[in-house]
């Protein structure tokens, strides 16, 4: 059976990646404890992929349960998305973040080393870089994270690097920039539990009337219009990067880190204007003071991804906003 293990596969990036991998695998084995996702995604993934989708509702910290699963399902190919991802929460609950993102990764790796894993792809983050010494961030940029979330991602990368070398596993840590948007079907998208921390889910809740107004943190940065700039990347482009990463990892003995971004930065105001001018969606926003710890601007160096993975992002800002809106409309009807 041609199958792949996907931790965190019911979450935002994991679910989109499974859809993009539908032609590569017959079975997807998802390990997800539903701490930030819903069981209903399993059925939607079955509809979108027409492939076998198995879900185990367990934590990656539960090594005994992982061992039990991997005894009957050999984890030859693994993508590890499971983790906690809020910068803000990581400052308030450092223990939880280290427990899940570092100890959870260690428990997964320890279990995998007993069960013939060959390829391992990890969801890392641009937050490992910290304050930009120069832009774009390339993969050789110093890694001095400025928050606990970034520290946990860097520690996990380092663990994976050692483990992959010791166990002769081909591994890639993908440093994602800022994924937004949703699958074009509108059937899956980003649905965080609680009040969203990321820009696009927050905007969608303002559009739907669930939240009153978008807070724009600062309009006095040294950026094109004063608001913060990020390298927003369409989720489908990001998901497709995993297809390319797996192909690369299978045909090369890799142990590397690769940025996954567009190489461009988009401001918060450009996103607001895209909704208003191209999609005729207006919503309230308030300019408030800068948020401590926010960087004015950053974006990815993409040469390595182009060269090694033969992959680049294709979608526009309009695609990102339109598909997010489509997801919101569809989801509201579910």
Contact footprint for ligand NAD (CB under 6 A): 7-8, 10-14, 31-37, 59-61, 81-83, 85, 100, 104, 123, 125, 176, 178-179, 198
Whose Cβ is closer to ligand NAD: residue 13's or residue 19's? Answer: 13
**Residue 35 Cβ vs ligand NAD, minimum distance, rounded to whole Å:** 4
**Which CB atom, from 139 or from 287, has the smaller least distance to ligand NAD?**
139
CB 90 within 8 A of CB 147: yes
Q: Is there a catalytic annotation at residue 149?
A: yes
Give long-range contacts, CB 8 A cutoff, 24+ apart: 57-63.
Answer: 57/32, 57/33, 58/31, 58/33, 59/33, 59/104, 60/7, 60/31, 60/33, 60/100, 60/104, 60/105, 60/107, 60/108, 61/99, 61/100, 61/103, 61/104, 61/107, 62/107, 63/107, 63/108, 63/110, 63/111
The one catalytic residue in 97, 137, 149, 202 is: 149
Nearer to ligand NAD, 59 or 227 (CB): 59
> Least distance (Å) from ligand NAD to the CB of residue 315?
16
Smaller CB separation from ligand NAD, 88 or 168: 88
Q: How far is the CB of 14 from ligand NAD (least distance, A)?
A: 5
Residue nearest to ligand NAD according to CB distances in the complex: 11
DSSP β-ladder status, 119-125 and 170-176: parallel
Per-residue 3-state assignment (H helix, E strand, C coil) for 13-54: HHHHHHHHCCCCCCEEEEECCCCCCCCHHHHHHHHHHCCEEE
83 vs 186, which CB is nearer to ligand NAD? 83
DSSP, res 98:
I
Task: Find the shortest distance in angstroms from Cβ 163 to ligand NAD.
Answer: 17
Token representation of residue 91: 């400052």
Q: Give least dist CB 18 to ligand NAD, A.
A: 11
Active site positions, annotated = 149
């Amino acid at each position: 059976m041609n199958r792949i293990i996907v931790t965190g596969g019911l979450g935002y990036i994991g679910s989109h990646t499974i859809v993009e991998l539908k032609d590569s695998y017959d079975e997807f084995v998802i390990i997800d404890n539903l701490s930030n996702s819903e069981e209903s995604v399993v059925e939607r993934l079955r509809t979108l992929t027409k492939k076998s989708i198995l879900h185990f509702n367990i934590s990656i910290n539960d090594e005994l349960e992982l061992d039990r699963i991997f005894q009957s399902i050999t984890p030859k190919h693994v993508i590890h998305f499971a983790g906690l991802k809020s910068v803000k929460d990581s400052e308030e609950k450092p223990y939880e973040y280290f427990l899940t993102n570092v100890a959870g990764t260690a428990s997964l790796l320890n279990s995998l080393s007993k069960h013939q894993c060959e390829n391992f792809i990890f969801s890392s983050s641009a937050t490992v870089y910290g304050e930009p010494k120069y832009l774009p961030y390339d993969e050789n940029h110093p890694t001095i994270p400025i928050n606990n979330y970034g520290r946990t991602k860097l520690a996990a990368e380092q663990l994976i690097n050692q483990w992959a070398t010791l166990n002769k596993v081909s591994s890639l840590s993908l440093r994602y920039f800022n994924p937004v948007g949703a699958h074009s079907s509108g059937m899956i998208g980003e649905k965080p539990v609680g009040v969203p921390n990321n820009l696009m889910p927050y905007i969608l809740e303002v559009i739907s009337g669930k939240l009153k107004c978008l807070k724009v943190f600062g309009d006095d940065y040294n950026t094109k219009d004063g608001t913060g700039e990020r390298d927003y990347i369409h989720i489908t482009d990001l998901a497709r990067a995993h297809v390319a990463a797996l192909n690369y990892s299978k045909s090369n003995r890799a142990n590397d880190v690769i940025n996954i971004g567009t190489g461009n930065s988009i401001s918060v105001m450009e996103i607001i204007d895209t909704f208003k001018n191209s999609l005729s969606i207006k919503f309230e926003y308030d300019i408030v003071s800068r948020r401590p710890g926010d960087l004015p601007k950053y974006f990815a160096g993409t040469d390595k991804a182009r060269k090694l993975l033969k992959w680049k992002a294709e979608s526009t800002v309009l695609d990102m906003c339109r598909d997010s809106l489509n997801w919101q409309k569809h989801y509201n009807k579910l």
